[in-house]
Structure 1
Amino acid sequence: MRNQEILSLDGDWKLAAYEYVADRKDVQPDTETLDWMDAAVPGAVHYDLVKSGKLENPFASTQAAHAAEWVAQTDWIYTREFELEQELSDGAAFALRIDGIDTYADIWLNDRLLGQTANAYRSYEFEVDASMLRAGENRLIVHVKNHFRMTEGKADEAKRRLQVSRNPTAYRGKSLIRRYQRNFYSNSSLLNLGTGVLGIGIHKPVRLIAYPKLRIEESYFSVQQLTASQADVRVEVKLNRPLSEIGQALTIEAVLQQPDMRQPAAVHSAAVTGGETDLRLTMQEPRLWWPRGYGGQPLYRLTLRLYDGTTLLHEIEKQVGIKQVEVIRELPNGRKTFYLQVNGVKIHARGSNLIPVDYLKVHDTWDVYERLFRLMQASHHNTLRIWGGGAVETDKFYDRCDELGILIWQDFFLHSNTYPDYDPEFVEEFRQESVELVKRIRAVPAWEFCAAATSRWKAGTNGTGRPTWTGSTANRSSKSCFLRLRPPIAPIFHMSSTRRTEANGLNPPLRAICITGAISIMRRRIRSS
């Protein structure tokens, strides 16, 4: 059995403003008297308000931008009813998968609280017991909460310790809310409207999925040794339950195959003996993945199968590339340098920084991304930096980079600001966000490395008397994440640049021309139709 999408919940929803009642915070919102309007998911509340004639395009002028500030300072209720047209298998586990919510939300299914969200950079998966689903009509309610109410209790300490104002649309919000960082107004904004227009809502897909109850939960593919004639690769597999709970003899099989070849390039099986199963495969005459301009981009299909004897329990597939990347920071004579070496060849990186294609809902339809990729191809890109002020891209986006030979420089999402490394909640949220990001990207063939942040600030080093802040927690969290998850190349923990203090890193070896900027500005115009 493979993972199966039972039902996509994208498309038409209903949306209404909601007056939050403090003493009912753990109770499902009363929706009977709300003033509903049509909404789209994925999307953003601003788009729905404009289409309903309740809001002027906030990017039409500075006045309109200020007039739209109330949207992110309001609680909102999304609701959708759906019917299940197929019977639910007794041998499956079910989950509600939400790829992203901006930002704080409670999720209710048929009057029962499924879970909560607190980070727009993360995806969430909530277990759904089969008894929670009805044979007929089901109702999903998502209570998206006022950004600023959720951080108000931390505002005074942030002002004192981080020296940020209490203005929630500026540095305070940027410090405390884990969402698209450049959206906040920090003396400037991408459109220079004099304020930040913060998106809010369900901005990524929502779907109901089914899994086998015993399944492959994680897998990690890496090239261990590579020569012109042979590649030794490693596949690490982790199940969703510890071996002590399983009580049966299980086997995992790994098959590597090129799409245009009938015979597998390599096959290996291993018994499940612990928390992780380690499979080693040897490939003869491997076809190497190269950045654009240096060779082709052959992609292998990796199939992993979990067996109980001869019974297939679970199967997953992913595309992988055979390559080795090294970050060279010192020449043999000891001189400092910085360049990438792919499959032993020094690479001239040519590319851009990517900013989100939409200022409010962050992502857009795939045709917008295809336009970006055509521009990258026309300008001979082979490198793209996923900027730390931006947002997490989709698996489809990374797959396209694999196919086109565009290396990914992935930033962690810290940008031009101080952050509350004194707050255990923030540190843990950032840690989980970082772990999820690395797990997603570590086996992407186009991935080259991650950088800890972009243009971070240091306080207390310029004679102002501000408290010392060095971003050490961000570095520690990123570093521990990398060491534990074992990416196949040396990670970079330096920031790309440092504000208010001495240089503390190397700027990206890219022509950061931001060709996507012009397109992003065009897309920020909210369409009324």
Structure 2
Amino acid sequence: MCDVVHPRPESGDWSRTMKDVTQLTEGWSVRHEEALLPARVPGCVHTDLLAADVIPDPFIGLNETEVAWVGRRGWTYLTDLAHDSAHERTDLVFDGLDTAARITLAGRELGRTRNMHRSYRFDVTGRTGPLEVRFASAYEEAEAVRSLTGSRPNVYPEPSQYIRKMACSFGWDWGPTLVTAGIWRPVRLEHWSTARLARVRPLVTVADGAGRVEVRLEVERTRRGEGRPLTARASVGGVQAEVSFEGEEAVLELEVADPELWWPRGYGRQPLYDLEVRLSDESGPLDGWQRRIGFRRIELDRSADEHGTGFTLVVNGVRIFARGVNWIPDDVFPSRITPERYRARLQQAADANVDLVRIWGGGIYEDDAFYDACDELGLMVWQDFLFACSAYPEEQPLRGEIEAEARDNVVRLMPHPSLVLWNGNNENLWGFRDWGWEGELAGDSWGEGYYLGLLPRLVAELDPTRPYTAGSPWSGSWDHHPNDPAHGTFHSWEVWNRQDYAEYRTSVPRFVAEFGWQAPPAIATLRRALPGERPAPDSPGMLHHQKAEDGNGKLNRGVARHFPLPDDDFDRWHYLTQVVQARAVAAGIEHWRSHWPVCAGTVVWQLNDCWPVTSWSAVDGDGRLKPLHHELRRVYADRLLTVQPGDSGLTLAVVNQSAGVWRTSVSLRRLHADGSTVHEDVVDVTAGPRSVVRLPVPPVLAPAEGSAKEFLVADADGLRALHFPVPDKDFACPRPRYDVAVEPVPGESDRVDIVVSAHTLVRDLLLQADRLGPRAAADQGLQTLLPGERTRIKVSGCGFPDVQDVRAALFSVDTM
């Protein structure tokens, strides 16, 4: 675990007692052929080679293929280790080594590693000299393990399940194959005497109005420190506890009366309390540990009911419809992700009214900076253990590594109040049942023992304050299909792969943990990633940055169901794929939210990207917002108005996820394509807190089924819902006409307002602000305007653009 060291006090002699820490970030080299290149630690070999101009940027053009050799070679990192300390013990601590490494000091082996997701500690007391960390090729390590365990099925042809490494570095249907090596997390020397805090586990609970913290300590002692009496003190919220002990373990209990509770965003505040632990003996302080905790109660209601088996998160007694996004590593080179970048990306999630982030099992256990930001922003974290889309051997050497990895990370992450759920794997239980694995395995182990045995046992032992689920999707037992929508979590991929997004409305799963639709990144991102290329859907760079199987075919079929597919018009194709992505995800969320509490959450695939690519993300690889992000902000808002088609006609759903009553008057208008009113009425609705009101739309207001000339508009408190009976390509939509004005914002030189005034129906108007400049951003996404309506779009980062340039950056649906 990573220790937080308190500064020494201005008075008192701690020189021989309190632990000292020296960060080893400088003076590293990496050997490339006969040369030694400067190395950055933390870092990886790709970023070091990139900094030395040995390789081109693998994110640009087709360069990914040119650097494939890097992942198939071994690499050695070197430095000179010198230290002098009066302490009894000096440890060399690596928070992360990627991945199969042999560490030597002055020619003598310290140890070997084979897990990217663990920390390592070596006793180097009194030892100095050349320090070398020799990384074997991850491919070689994986093949060596495969030869011991035998082969197992995998969705991808790469050997990711035989090595405890970020699986998606071997490539995914949204990511490049860039197989890394290096010292990817901090490395340091820790000098200590007598004893140190080896493990601190705070079990935080709330009951009967009191916050309880049970702090479980494990210490490591030097030989001189064996049997010496130690004292541990803990404090939180003005409450202190102390215990003296002579063994290796101790427990302190603290109770805070009436603590302010931590809530997910939208449900309350996120107060955080400093929990401090000090270890000392009769001579003075020895070690310290500090984290921020939050008091809250987490439950997962998996009760059976008339609809099947539920899956509802309950926080502090409040049942929650989870408004979620899936998270992948934000960079295929994770050492480049700074705390500021974590914060920016997670703020983008919060800005989209997201309240849950699922960390997907093919990535990493993220840096503490990720969870710190979630604690502060009120973003609940669903944490996968790192297994994804593969059958995993349960034999050694993997089994021991997996247990050590799980212990490391459960203990490291459990102080964070944002962490609400441990999940055993991604899609492996489903894969066993549906993807032909069972016959291919012929009785060989495949991971079930991890998900249904080892991992729940470890969570129960180490972190019993949080729920655990065996996988996603998972129905709760083998009594039901693993991906049964009526039981537990459900992954909806049949729609994207084979159907129109309207098919999302045909079922009401209990919890939709994955679903999504693709679209390309922003234009400015494409221009940076594909320099010199005239982009087309099938141009070389576009195809290389599209990793999904038949990805463009699915994009085109998705567009063609609703619009004439553009011929040799990339800008139009790019716009329409963005429209369909936003509409598809909105269709699913609006339908499922309207069926709360039967459906208790949606987790969109995916929030972010790890490089510039066509994918399911709402934020592209350069951090630019797709229209989907703006649409998430609308459909994940506390209040949502939606019109849902069904076999018995149209339903108006008024969704109120706020804590207050929503009393509103809904204006319903049946309009002609030219904007004239055919019929209108007003419906008064009262929606209680955390509730949904569903009302049938009166037949006189519903456009006739198959009508190409009429549509329905519902308005309430600034919210709008639309229903068109036919696809856009079949609707008699007039050619859009609108005026555009550019207005300065007083006192702000780098911000303007774009005012669009509609003369006709304008469907899905979109300003692609990055066409005005790579830094430009707009505050709104897709909008539909009725004749006579106007919208004001706030744009920053582009100076004062010409009106014609603005018009060229504006797109809308036009099927004429």
TM-score (norm. length: structure 1): 0.82
**Counterpart amino acid of 1:190?**
W
Q: Does 1:139 align with 2:130?
A: yes
- Say which structure, 1 or 2, has more relative contact order (CA 8 Å, 6+ apart): 1
TM-score (norm. length: structure 2): 0.54
**Counterpart amino acid of 2:420?**
E
Q: Check conservation: 1:411, 1:451, Cα contact below 8 A.
A: yes
Q: Does 1:44 align with 2:40?
A: no
**Counterpart amino acid of 2:608?**
T
Q: Check conservation: 1:203, 1:361, Cα contact below 8 A.
A: yes
SS in 1 for 2:439: coil
Match of 2:631 in 1: none
Q: How does 1:99-498 map to 2 (within 5 A)?
A: 99-129=95-125, 131-133=126-128, 138-156=129-147, 161-163=151-153, 171-185=157-171, 189-191=173-175, 196-228=177-209, 230-241=210-221, 246-257=226-237, 264=238, 266-272=239-245, 274-309=247-282, 311-330=284-303, 336-361=309-334, 363-421=336-394, 423-456=395-428, 457-458=431-432, 462=436, 465-467=439-441, 468=443, 470-475=446-451, 476-496=453-473
Question: Shift of residue 434 of structure 1?
Answer: 1.1
SS in 1 for 2:56: coil
Aligned equivalents of 1:329 and 1:461: distance in 2? 26
The RMSD of aligned alpha carbons is: 3.0
**Counterpart amino acid of 1:427?**
R
SS in 2 for 1:511: strand
* Deviation readout 1:10-31 (Å, 9 max, x if unpaired): 255321236xxxxxxxxxxxxx
* Deviation readout 1:104-139 (Å, 9 max, x if unpaired): 11222333322222111112222221x103xxxx53
Question: Shift of residue 74 of structure 1?
Answer: 0.9
SS in 2 for 1:424: coil
Question: Shift of residue 295 of structure 1?
Answer: 1.2
Aligned equivalents of 1:164 and 1:416: distance in 2? 7
Question: Shift of residue 390 of structure 1?
Answer: 1.0
Q: Does 1:512 align with 2:604?
A: yes
Aligned equivalents of 2:283 and 2:37: distance in 1? 53
Q: Check conservation: 2:158, 2:170, Cα contact below 8 A.
A: no
In structure 2, relative to structure 1, the CA distance for the partners of 1:103 and 1:348 (3 Å cut) is same
Question: Shift of residue 339 of structure 1?
Answer: 1.0
**Counterpart amino acid of 1:162?**
R
Q: Check conservation: 1:4, 1:209, Cα contact below 8 A.
A: yes
Aligned equivalents of 2:371 and 2:256: distance in 1? 25
Match of 1:261 in 2: none
Aligned equivalents of 1:495 and 1:405: distance in 2? 23
Question: Shift of residue 419 of structure 1?
Answer: 1.2
Q: Check conservation: 1:407, 1:447, Cα contact below 8 A.
A: yes
Aligned equivalents of 1:464 and 1:312: distance in 2? 56
Larger radius of gyration: 2
Q: Check conservation: 1:73, 1:146, Cα contact below 8 A.
A: yes
Among all aligned residue pairs of Structure 1 and Structure 2, give the percentage whose two residues are the same amino acid. Answer: 27
**Counterpart amino acid of 2:231?**
T
SS in 1 for 2:345: helix
Equivalent position to 1:17, from 32, 35, 40: 32
Question: Shift of residue 149 of structure 1?
Answer: 2.2
* Deviation readout 1:384-420 (Å, 9 max, x if unpaired): 1111011121122212211221111100000111111
Match of 1:67 in 2: 66
Aligned equivalents of 2:330 and 2:45: distance in 1? 17
Aligned equivalents of 1:11 and 1:436: distance in 2? 26
Structure 1: stretches of 5+ with no match in the other structure = 19-33, 258-263, 524-529
Aligned equivalents of 1:332 and 1:221: distance in 2? 35
Question: Shift of residue 4 of structure 1?
Answer: 5.0
Question: Shift of residue 213 of structure 1?
Answer: 3.1
Q: Check conservation: 1:175, 1:418, Cα contact below 8 A.
A: yes
Q: Check conservation: 2:276, 2:288, Cα contact below 8 A.
A: yes
Structure 2: stretches of 5+ with no match in the other structure = 7-17, 491-512, 514-600, 610-616, 624-816
Q: Does 1:89 align with 2:86?
A: yes
Number of residue equivalences: 478
SS in 1 for 2:440: coil
**Counterpart amino acid of 1:433?**
E
In structure 2, relative to structure 1, the CA distance for the partners of 1:52 and 1:492 (3 Å cut) is same
Question: Shift of residue 459 of structure 1?
Answer: 6.9
Q: Does 1:503 align with 2:482?
A: yes
SS in 2 for 1:151: helix
